[in-house]
Structures are given as structure tokens and as C-alpha cells.
Amino acid sequence: MAAGAVSIYEVARIAGVSIATVSRVLNGKGPVRADTSRRVLQAVESLGYVPHGGARSLSTRRSMNIGVLLPDVHGEFFSEIVRGIDLAARAAGYHVLVSGSHSDLDETAAVLQTLHGRTDGLILMTPGIGADWLRRHLPRRLPAVLLNPPLPKPGDHDSIEVDNRLGGRLAVEHLIGLGHRRIAILCGPAGNDDAAERLAGYFEALAAGGLAPDPALELPGDFAEESGFRAGEALARLAPRPTAVFAANDAMAIGCLAALRERGLAVPGDVSLAGFDDIPIARFLTPALTTVSAGTAGIAGLGGRAMERLLAIVAAGRDGSPRHDVVTPILKVRASTAPPEPLAGAGNAGAADRIHPHGG
């Protein structure tokens, strides 16, 4: 019998139980004796029964959809977040509805209104939107998990964040440890909390290394490759030129790498380059990019963790105070960073990934 032709009535008949009992076993709702549950599951397997999605959502009063709101849906970082969310969602029988807000308040409000009522919960990343605004527009009763929440953190929902400040420090401390003293930074977009924290980590590392900040070495960016390219062109024209660059994300680091090459500058021979995020292509660049990873599981792991947390909230309901987890970043040292030219004999070009959980 084809799987699509099997009904819940047939499962109940083979297992010798009522339809309600079959439903309780499949949905995990209500008390069912172990031997009864075993008979039902054996009947399901032998018949190849697949529960009808619409019927299941009616019986559980769930849509089996999860909404995901990101600042953008373009680029490897966001595709990796969605990949991790989707893998965890599919394993639990859920579908994912993804939208981008472009950090626009009106657009964000419209998306939240659209997703509310059509989904069982939301995963949101809104680094450019204030916490007060989010508290007003995100109902407390709605299951939600915030990824890298705005500062100060809204206290009504669970959240998971990467320690962006520590990550910035790790990257710059690594460069200082190699002997660099003139270190530039490609900043992220103004008003973006992740970018602000990474910049703060840059300043902290300089201070700890006894280095004074130089505004001429702080170049604007917007997390896109093109802004990294423009910054790389500007860096190449500086005199004296910095010997190292920390880009606040990998996309800008890639753009900067292209610009430096166009100007005839070698990485890391003339300029060492470090990024942030550890997007999949980072280790396949030439040279492979030194960067900061979002913990041991990376970007996709961050998305999967948010999805698993949200599903637990949906299943159990809000129980107790919201949880706030901080992911410790990891510095991955690759071939794009080396000591400055006078010390280049001890460089690390071609080195395999050397993982430094607490700095270079």
C-alpha cells in the first residue's frame, strides 16, 4: 500500500487501539501505556504511515512554521545562519519562513505583523534596531529567540549572542602578538551593535598593548565586500601604511584583500589581514583568512542552537525567566597574518588552522 493511501484509521485498526490513542502517541500528548505506544509505532512503521501536516497542525493547534527575521538574506553569513536553522527545523518537522528587515523600522514592524499568527515562534536578528522599539513591537507571549540582541538586551525573550567585543580583542591581540604596532580597522555600519562591540574590542586590545588609537586607521564600512574594497584602496594610499588590518567581518576582509592585490601589495607580506565570522569561503581564500569564529560550531551552529531553543520554548511554553547565553568566540589563525616585514622570517604563511580559544 502506498504511504499516501494509508490513513490513521488503518493504523488504529492494525494496532488495535482508538484513533485518539494513535494521535496521542504521534503527538506525544497524554498518557499512553508503553506496550500500547510500541504497538502503534510498529503499525506506523509497517504501514509506512505519514501523518497529514494539516491534520497534525489542527490537533496540536500549531502551524508547524517558524519565522526568521534577519537584517538581510544576502551573503554567506546569513545563508549559514539559515542553513543551521533549517537543518534543526526539518529534524523536528517544522518549516522555516525567512524574511529580511534591512534594519528598517517600518519594514521590521510589517514583517513581525505578517509572521505573528502564521508561525509558532520567531528567531530574530536585529542588531540595528533599538531594544526599546523591539520590546514594544514583539509581544512577550510570542515564543521568540533573539540572535545577537540589541543593546541593552530586551529582557522578555531568550537570546543567544556571540561575545563580539572579546572576538575583536582576540583578533587584534593576535596581530599585536605578531609584532604589529600600526593596525587599522575596517568598521561595520554605524548604529550596528555587533560592529560597535567589535570596535570596542579593537580599542581594548590596543590599550592593553600600550598602543594609542589613530583615527586615520579607523575606516568606515558597512559589512559588504564593496566597502572593504574601498577601505583597502584607502589603506594602500596611507603613509605610513599600516602593517596589519582587522576587518569587522569576513566580507569586508575579502574586499580589502582584492583591493590590496590590485595595488600590488602582498598579504601577509606587506599587510596582514584578519576578519570576523569565519564564513565557509574564508579558509579557501589565497591566503586562507585568519578570522574569528562563532564558537566551535560556527555560524550554522549558532542558527541551529537558536532553533533548538525556540522549539523547546514552543513545546513547553514560557517557563521561568528568559535565558541569555553568550557564545565564546574562537580565533582561527591561518595564512593571512604574519609578523611585519622586519620579523617576517618567523611568519606563518601556509600554516594550517591553529585554534586559539583565548587569543593569539
Specify whether 188 is located in the same domain as 230. Answer: yes
- Please write the tens of the pLDDT for every residue from 263-278: 999 999 999 999 999 9
Specify whether 238 is located in the same domain as 301. Answer: no
Specify whether 335 is located in the same domain as 240. Answer: yes
Specify whether 17 is located in the same domain as 40. Answer: yes
pLDDT at position 60 over 60 = no
Specify whether 245 is located in the same domain as 349. Answer: yes
Specify whether 22 is located in the same domain as 118. Answer: no
Query: Which three cell numbers mark 330?
Result: 574562537
Specify whether 309 is located in the same domain as 174. Answer: no
| 314 torsion bin: left (phi>0), alpha (psi -120 to 50), beta (else) | alpha
Residue ending a domain, among 18, 38, 60, is 60
- Please write the tens of the pLDDT for every residue from 168-202: 999 999 999 999 999 999 999 998 889 999 999 99
Q: What is the pLDDT of residue 318?
A: 62
Average pLDDT over residues 150-158: 77
Specify whether 151 is located in the same domain as 228. Answer: no
First-to-last CA distance in the chain?
61
Specify whether 149 is located in the same domain as 185. Answer: no
Q: What CATH number is associated with residue 18?
A: 1.10.260.40
Residue ending a domain, among 60, 85, 107, is 60
DSSP string, 82-135: HHHHHHHHHHTT-EEEEEE-TT-HHHHHHHHHHHBTTBS-EEE--TTS-HHHHH
∠ Cα 23 26 27 (to 5°): 80
Report the alpha-carbon distance of residue 137 to residue 150 in Å, rounded: 14
Residue 349 is given by DSSP the state T
| 223 torsion bin: left (phi>0), alpha (psi -120 to 50), beta (else) | left
Predicted TM-score (pTM) above 0.85: no
Average pLDDT over residues 323-342: 94
Specify whether 9 is located in the same domain as 104. Answer: no
Residue 224 is given by DSSP the state S
Q: What CATH number is associated with residue 82?
A: 3.40.50.2300
Please state the domain count of the chain: 3
Extended strands (E) in 152-238: 158-162, 183-186, 218-219
Average pLDDT over residues 56-83: 81
- 3-class secondary-structure state, position 293: strand
Owning domain of residue 37? 3-60
Specify whether 304 is located in the same domain as 252. Answer: no
Specify whether 137 is located in the same domain as 188. Answer: no
